[in-house]
Structure 1
Amino acid sequence: MKTVIMGAVSRATLVQVTTDITVFIIVTIFALLLSFNKLTAIQPYIRGFFCDDQSLMYPYRDDSISTITTAILSLLPPTIIILFTEAFLSKNDSKRMRIFVKNCYSMIGCLFLGFSLCVLFIEIVKMFVGRLRPHFFSVCQPSFSSTNCSRKFITNYSCQGKDLESISDSKKSFPSGHSGAAWNGMVFLAIYIQIRVRRHWPRLRVACPLLQFVAVSVAAYVSISRLQDYKHHTGDVIGGGIIGILFTIIVMYQNPNVKRHFLHHYDQADLGETMDTVVCMELHQENKNSAEIPTINGQAKT
C-alpha cells in the first residue's frame, strides 16, 4: 500500500513539474518574441501626437543597461542567494537533498515564472497602449512638410526613418519593461531575505536590511537609467515598477514558504507539501483546537 501511494505521489509530482516547465517555456517564448520585436505581424497601437510636443523631441541614445543585463541583474542575484540559503538550511536534515531541491524549485520556480509573466504582461500592455517614447521624433522622423501641423492632434503621418524595428519600438513606451523586470526580481529578493534569511538567522539584523537596501537600489537605478536614456516618461517607469511588484506579490503568495512565514507557529513540515489555501485553513483550525485546555468536567476551554 505504501509503495502504491509513493508511486502515485511521484507520478503526480512529475506531472506537476512537467506542467510548470511547459507553461514557463511557453510564457517565456512569447515574452521574448514581443520584447525583441520579433512578432512583426503584431504592431503597436497607432497613437497620434502634437507637432510641438517637446516630450517627444529628445535625442536617441543607446541603452545604458541593456535588456539582457536587466534580466541578469533581476534573476541571477536572487537565484544565487536562494541556492546558498537553502543549502545551509537543509544541511543538517536527514533528507537534506530532497528538501533542498524542493525548496529551491519552489522559490526559483516562482522567481522565474513571475518574471516571465511580468514581462509578457508589460509587452502586451505596450502593444495596446502605444504610447510614444521621448525619442519618437528622432527615430520616426515624421514628414512635417506633408503633415498638417495646423491641426491640433496628428494621427495621419508617415515616418521617414529607415530602421523599421526602432520605429515600431518607439511606440512602446508605457509601461517600462526594464523597470518592471528590475522591481520584480529585486522585490522578490528583498521578500525572500525577510522570510528565509532574516527568520532563520535573526542575528543578521544589520546585514539583511543592508542587502534589501542594495536590492531596492539596483531596481531604482535601472528605472532611473531609462529616464536618463530618454527611453521612457516618468509615468512609464512608475507604472512598470508597480506591475513588477504586483507580479512578485502574486507569485510569492503561491509559495508555501511565504505562508509558513505568516503561519510561523506551525511546524516547518506542516506546509511543506501543499500550497492549497484550504489546507492552510484546516491547519489553522487544528492549531486552534490543540490549544484548548480540558477542564475537570471534560469540557474544553481556551
Structure 2
Amino acid sequence: MPEIQLGAHTIRSHGASVARIHMHDWLILLLLVVIDIILNVIEPFHRFVGEGMLTDLRYPLKDNTVPFWAVPIIAILIPVAVFLVYYIIRKDVYDFHHAILGLLFSLLITVVITDAIKDAVGRPRPDFFWRCFPDGKGVFDAVTRDVRCTGVKSVIKEGHKSFPSGHTSGSFAGLGFLAWYLSGKIRAFDRRGHVAKLCLVILPILTAALVGVSRVDDYWHHWQDVFAGALLGMVIASFCYLQFFPPPYDADGWGPHAYFQMLAESRNATQCLSPNNGSLHVQQTELHSVYIDPQETVQVNSWDSSPMLDGHGSETTIRH
C-alpha cells in the first residue's frame, strides 16, 4: 500500500509539478512587472503648486537613509531566507513554493497599486521646492502663479510622487507577509500566552515601520504618505497570505492549503485502490498510546509531531 508521509515532498521530487499547476500565477506575476514598468515610465499628474503653497514644500533635498536598492533586500530576500531555512528543516515544497508565490504577489500587487496612485495623485514631496528650483530662485506663471520648474526633469518627475510612500508600502507588503508566516509556524495564537512568540511576530512589522519613519525624516514623504503606504502594504499582505495559508490561529495554520488538499487527495486515491473497500494505511505524524488503569479509565495521549514549533500535545481522558 502507498503511504502518506509528511515532509517527503521536496523540490526535486515535487517541485516541477507544483510549479506547473501554478504556471498561470507566475505568468500573472510577469504581467504585474510589465504594468509597474509602464507606470514608472509615464509622467505623473502635475498638481497645481502655487507660489503660496511652497511654504510646506521647502524642506532640504536629502539622500535616502534607506536607498531604493535596499527595499528588495528587506522585503524579499529576508523573508525568502526564512522560507528557505524552514524548507531545509521541513522538506515541504508546498510550503516553500506557496510562501514565495504569496510573497511576490503581495509585493507586486502593492507596488502596482502604489505607483498607480502616485501617478494619479501627483502630490508634491516635502522637498519639492529644491527639486523644482535647485538654484533657490522661484519662477512662476504670470497669471496663475503656478510653478515653472527649472530643475532636472527626472528629479522634478520624482518630486510629484509623494503619495503614498513606496518604500513603506513595499516594506509592509514583504515583512507583513513574513509576520503572518512566522505567526503560523510558531503558533503565536495558541492561547498559551507566550509573549516571546508575539515579539518575534512583531519584529518584521517594527522593521517596516522604521523604514517608513526614515522616509519622513529624509523629507521625501509627508506623514500621511507613510501611513497610507503602511496600511496598503499590510492589507495586501494579509489578503495574499490568507489566499495560500489558513489563519495562524487555525489548527492547521502551520501549513498551506495546497498541502492539506494534497493529503486529502492522496487518502482518497489510496482508499479507491484498497482491496478492503476503504482500508487506508497512512503513516501518521501523531503517536498514540492507549492503556487502561484499574478504575477502567482509558487514557489517550497524543503528541503532535507536525512542524509547529512548540511541541506541546493534547491529552484526552475518557471514563466508562
Q: Which residue of 2 aligns with 1:158?
A: 148
**1:140-173 CA-partner distances (Å, limit 9, x unpaired):** 1297454348x6xx44x42111x21111010010
Q: Which residue of 2 aligns with 1:20?
A: 25
Amino acid at match of 1:17: H
Q: Which residue of 2 aligns with 1:272?
A: 259
Shift of 1:137: 0.9
Q: 1:270 to 1:60 in 2, by over 3 A?
A: closer
Amino acid at match of 2:28: V
Q: 1:29 to 1:72 in 2, by over 3 A?
A: farther
**What pairs with 1:251-266 in structure 2 (closer than 5 Å)?**
251-255=240-244, 257-259=245-247, 261-264=248-251
**1:246-269 CA-partner distances (Å, limit 9, x unpaired):** 1101101211x325x454279979
Amino acid at match of 2:246: V
1:243 aligned onto 2:232: yes
Shift of 1:207: 4.3
3-state SS in 2 of match to 1:64: coil
Structure 2 gap ranges (5+): 1-13, 263-320
Q: Which has the larger radius of gyration?
A: 2
Q: Which residue of 2 aligns with 1:147?
A: 141
Shift of 1:205: 3.6
1:48 aligned onto 2:53: no
**1:268-295 CA-partner distances (Å, limit 9, x unpaired):** 79862559xxxxxxxxxxxxxxxxxxxx
**1:109-134 CA-partner distances (Å, limit 9, x unpaired):** 10111101101110011000000011
Q: Which residue of 1 aligns with 2:221?
A: 232
CA distance in 2, matches of 1:75, 1:110: 11
Taking structure 1 as the reference length, what is the TM-score of the superposition? 0.71
3-state SS in 1 of match to 2:221: coil
CA distance in 1, matches of 2:255, 2:62: 51
> Are the counterparts in 2 of residues 175 and 239 from structure 1 also a CA contact under 8 Å?
yes
Q: 1:266 to 1:160 in 2, by over 3 A?
A: closer
Identity %: 25
CA distance in 2, matches of 1:70, 1:235: 20
Q: Which residue of 2 aligns with 1:291?
A: none
**What pairs with 1:123-142 in structure 2 (closer than 5 Å)?**
123-141=115-133
Q: 1:80 to 1:201 in 2, by over 3 A?
A: farther
Q: 1:268 to 1:238 in 2, by over 3 A?
A: closer
Shift of 1:204: 11
* Structure holding more strand per residue: 2
Q: Which residue of 2 aligns with 1:182?
A: 171
* Structure holding more helix per residue: 1
Q: 1:271 to 1:25 in 2, by over 3 A?
A: closer
Structure 1 gap ranges (5+): 1-8, 91-95, 276-302
> Are the counterparts in 2 of residues 131 and 173 from structure 1 also a CA contact under 8 Å?
yes
* Equivalent residue pairs, number: 247
> Are the counterparts in 1 of residues 62 and 219 from structure 2 also a CA contact under 8 Å?
yes
> CA RMSD, aligned part only?
3.3
Q: Which moved more, 1:23-32 or 1:104-113?
A: 23-32
**What pairs with 1:75-154 in structure 2 (closer than 5 Å)?**
75-88=76-89, 90=90, 96=91, 100-141=92-133, 144-148=138-142, 154=145
**1:180-200 CA-partner distances (Å, limit 9, x unpaired):** 011111211111111112369
